[in-house]
Structure 1
């Protein structure tokens, strides 16, 4: 069901749709997703965040006021260009952008660290998501959080482009082996035809890198 190399990143697809990505449907999903993330933030005003797989920044832009600084990171340069335009248009401070493929390189090599990393509807596009979760663990400061928003597993969806969602319990087991602690999750949204034309639900998972 998870068919090979095409899953990896889907960067080419996103390069093509970047300038028309912000549809009303995506904006609405981003709002409920960022609200869910906001509920899990603790004393984040002094913390720095990474919007990982940020797309056009729909999630991160909703959360700018929650953090001291934010890095928007994506594999698609055209998506990053869209964010750079928003940063210019709205004169946004304390943000940066980076076009980077964590499946090919490690962020640790760039000496980038974060207190919060959030990724919304990103994991389903990543072929080797265990590798990515492990590399993100290395980027977190001690006491830092990784927040994942994605679709619950939906067996009706058969795709060679994306995973058909995730089982949060199975994800918890994988992340525990990597070293993540205090993992909690909940389903926060159910919508009509929101996942490849199918009715689906979305979960949020909060995890932590403990103090050593």
Structure 2
């Protein structure tokens, strides 16, 4: 992940468009957390916490992990301002290291597209989850109109499902849940949610 890019945009990250999209995503993720009050969740690539902070009350402990110190600093300020008790933050990049922590749920929202080696990061998530843990991926459907040398142009859901199975996940369900105008590199795009069980 290009840390310097995210370090540079951290302070301007919470745009109206990003907040609107985060609200749609948070609403969808909350449906997966109905029985998660005793669970530990990692929001990986948490950014400024636009999604994770909205769902923190649905779990016992929410761990925010991002490779950008500036992003994590913004989350820490939000946690302090909202007096949240059940949260922890970490600056870490799972493509280079893993933390000595385990979780019941890992949320990866609009992060996978920034990671060049998809299989490697999915293996790291698999290792980090407890048995019967759940990986929740939110990302864009493959989009032929998107090209960027450092970003995947979305994901073909059948290929993603195959990849998740190959790293050990027992089952995966994938469904589209939102189509928006100019939400992916200024292109119209569809968001999907993929839920995989370890």
For this structure pair, what is the TM-score category when the shorter chain's length is used for normalisation?
A: over 0.9
Structure 1: which 5+ residue stretches go unaligned? 1-8
| 1:161 correspondence with 2:150 | yes
- What is the rounded CA distance, in whole Å, between the counterparts of 1:83 and 1:39 in structure 2? 23
1:16-67 deviation digits (Å, cap 9, x = unpaired): 0101111111011111111111122251001010000000001101101100
Distance 1:52 1:69, change over 3 A: same
Match for residue 5 of structure 1?
none
Q: Secondary structure at the match of 2:130?
A: strand
Q: Structure 2 length as normaliser, TM-score?
A: 0.98
1:97 corresponds to which of 89, 94, 98: 89
Compute the displacement of 1:91 (Å): 1.0
Match for residue 87 of structure 1?
79
Compute the displacement of 1:11 (Å): 1.3
Q: Is the 8 A contact 2:34 2:58 kept in 1?
A: no
Question: What is the root-mean-square deviation in Å for CA atoms of aligned residues?
Answer: 0.8
Indicate the structure whose relative CO is greater, using CA pairs within 8 Å and at least 6 residues apart: 1
2:14 corresponds to which of 7, 22, 46: 22
1:150 corresponds to which of 94, 118, 139: 139
| Runs (4+) off by over 4 Å | none
2:178 corresponds to which of 159, 173, 189: 189
- What is the rounded CA distance, in whole Å, between the counterparts of 1:79 and 1:65 in structure 2? 21
Structure 2: which 5+ residue stretches go unaligned? none
| 1:64 correspondence with 2:53 | no
2:31 corresponds to which of 34, 39, 43: 39
Number of aligned positions between the proteins: 198
Superposed, 1:121-140 pairs within 5 Å as 121-140=110-129
